[in-house]
Structure 1
């Protein structure tokens, strides 16, 4: 279950990600309620979340080319320092009472520009830190890290935002980026595998798209991830509306909702990490299960039942997300891995500029529960629709194993 942690460099990466994601969720909770405090609008909340991911949507494939061309550890140094500066700027503007909605948009776009490079560099760096036999386990444990950090980060963010102020959440996020820089400095560079660097050449972004288009093991998962990421993975929009409009609660309840989801995700990750073979068929099954759980969360009648169902939503989120990343990392050629993972980021979070406002509009105008239904039902449908194709792709791999 924890075999990849035998690798010393991956242990450091694991610790850094734990701190970084915890800070990020503190900031996510704080930013959601900052926007609601300024505007009282679900649509504006969706647009603000979209602004953070718009650069990934527009420039994500170029970030993959950079991740394939340059040293990923050095790229992460740059992205963590830039992110810390932006978080400090947020904290100061809020603490001084100067923050306005246009500033929130500008700073969110700044984080998005950093993520254009950070996402593919960070995701593809995992394969540089572990052997191939431990890669699947490392991807799963990285997802567990993200969700374990969500448990504490979101809960702490809700408490801090409600009791000590929003500015502190952003300041603590800045500190988390410093911790990542320290873990990168402590790594043994001699034990980091050097993937073949892509030479500077024309049409490298197009080459990445063509490579995926002619590789069904990459194309079908990416199509599924794009739809699900656009509509289902919009919880920073749908859950604050659900907490405020449906259950008449505030930041503390939203933080607890997110923490419950994180706890369910940790449980799902630990179960998945013990599996020896994870094929593309499992991705379709996880979409079916996750879509069902999100739909049930949309109709939960009381807050205690909502918490229970959100634990299942968290369980489904990590299985779907991790199985998608495993399918891509195990299939992609090393010299193309940065571009493939950039397309994963484009599909998973880069689609938010489209999905965030859609979910926010549904939640604002048709009721907060629709913010979840608009993601749950399509996730269930695409899982059912692509199950036959993904099952056929699994058979050659199973035959090869036997």
Structure 2
């Protein structure tokens, strides 16, 4: 794209884009090259990726599996509380053990994904996850399960996730191509949120009726849907990325690649700060509901459902976008942080819950768009390593932020904790946005009376070659 230095209403806000020389990244928000050889799928814009047969199979399998996964999360937490006599420490340790492998081995997992065929890799990882759920379910039904068993299974599941997570993220582009990647990621998030709504409700009824053991078996059965979907795919229709040749130092090569892209470094920093507090919003909701509004468990459930509904709407909104725009990343993160800080001053429970719906919309807009931006802006042979680093910041900062949120709430009260938790992401968004605009010579002008509301111009002197 030739820079003209003129102000235009259609120019997008910056998004990182790969260039031949990694020391000189392309200016942000440049769209990926059009794939002229593939026919454009027919159907409503929001669900256009479902016109691709392979992705349609994948999405159906994931919807079943996501519901089973959320069922197992509830059953696992309940099992730990039963086996430990209601110990919150045991519950926290279980969660930490499940996230620990991502922190320790996440970058290695991305290297492995870049080397191997992703569809075959997913068949292996999904099979292992199903086996783990099956074995834990058998232990529980046999009455032999102990707390340390759950610890072991949680850590083992975390080990498999190290490879499964970047493999699933990067396999999407092989199914739908670059043009519909943003839409497919958004639909994946919508399916995840549907499982998040249905899974806990179904699990609660089943645990009360038949116990937690059968719930693990049902989750194991749900992986059959994923494996069937992967097996029924037509490999010739996949846009398979050429595997990276095996060589020494590939993990460090991925680190150097990201370090050579200041735009990616800044976006990772922003992701980490947003996740440190945004990913712990569930805890903040519990503290506000119980400690501030003095409401019961049913009120907490309703508030949790409100944020889940907002997240689902945000995912569907993102699915309507043709291409990821970095302006949506910044808008989503800032609005989420602003609403979170503002909700801390809610005069009552109802106004607090009402604020949670747009908060969920903003957060999912940020998440799905940022995911697509990262995948489309890097060398395909580096995609696994870059996405593993992105998931490291996206998932790994939540355990870091949890004790910070708890300390602030215990010391200064839930309202201040919630306000700080929103102010930090909002401030980080403004700072990173200003640094990116300065680096690429981008100038913004607000036009609130006509669309687009933000107009972008770029100084040709600062555009990299």
TM-score under structure 2 length normalisation: 0.76
Structure 1 counterpart of 2:367 = 321
Deviation at 1:360, TM superposition (A): 5.1
Structure 2 counterpart of 1:12 = 57
Structure 1 counterpart of 2:168 = 122
Is 1:350 matched up with 2:402? no
**Matched ranges for 1:233-382 at <5 A:** 233-235=279-281, 237-238=283-284, 247=294, 249-250=296-297, 256-296=302-342, 300=346, 303-359=349-405, 372=418, 375-382=421-428
Deviates more, 1:125-134 or 1:20-29: 20-29
Distance 2:78 2:425 in 1: 27
Residues 174, 108 of structure 1: alpha-carbon distance in 2 compared, 3 angstrom cutoff: same
SS in 1 for 2:180: helix
Is 1:65 matched up with 2:111? yes
SS in 2 for 1:344: helix
Structure 1 counterpart of 2:32 = none
1:11-54 Cα shifts (integer Å, max 9, x gaps): 11111221122122222233334445535455554333222111
Question: 159, 167, 179: which is aligned to 2:225?
Answer: 179
Deviates more, 1:358-367 or 1:342-351: 358-367
Equivalences, count = 399
Residues 248, 81 of structure 1: alpha-carbon distance in 2 compared, 3 angstrom cutoff: farther
Residues 160, 303 of structure 1: alpha-carbon distance in 2 compared, 3 angstrom cutoff: farther
Largest Rg, 1 or 2: 2
Structure 1 counterpart of 2:194 = 148
Distance 1:179 1:262 in 2: 24
RMSD: 3.0
Answer 1 or 2: which has greater helix percent: 1
Structure 2 counterpart of 1:84 = 130
Distance 2:347 2:248 in 1: 56
Distance 1:31 1:113 in 2: 17
Residues 42, 187 of structure 1: alpha-carbon distance in 2 compared, 3 angstrom cutoff: same
Structure 2 counterpart of 1:75 = 121
Residues 76, 121 of structure 1: alpha-carbon distance in 2 compared, 3 angstrom cutoff: same
Distance 1:99 1:238 in 2: 32
Is 1:198 matched up with 2:213? no
Structure 1 counterpart of 2:70 = 25
1:281-325 Cα shifts (integer Å, max 9, x gaps): 321221111123333555556554444333233212211111210
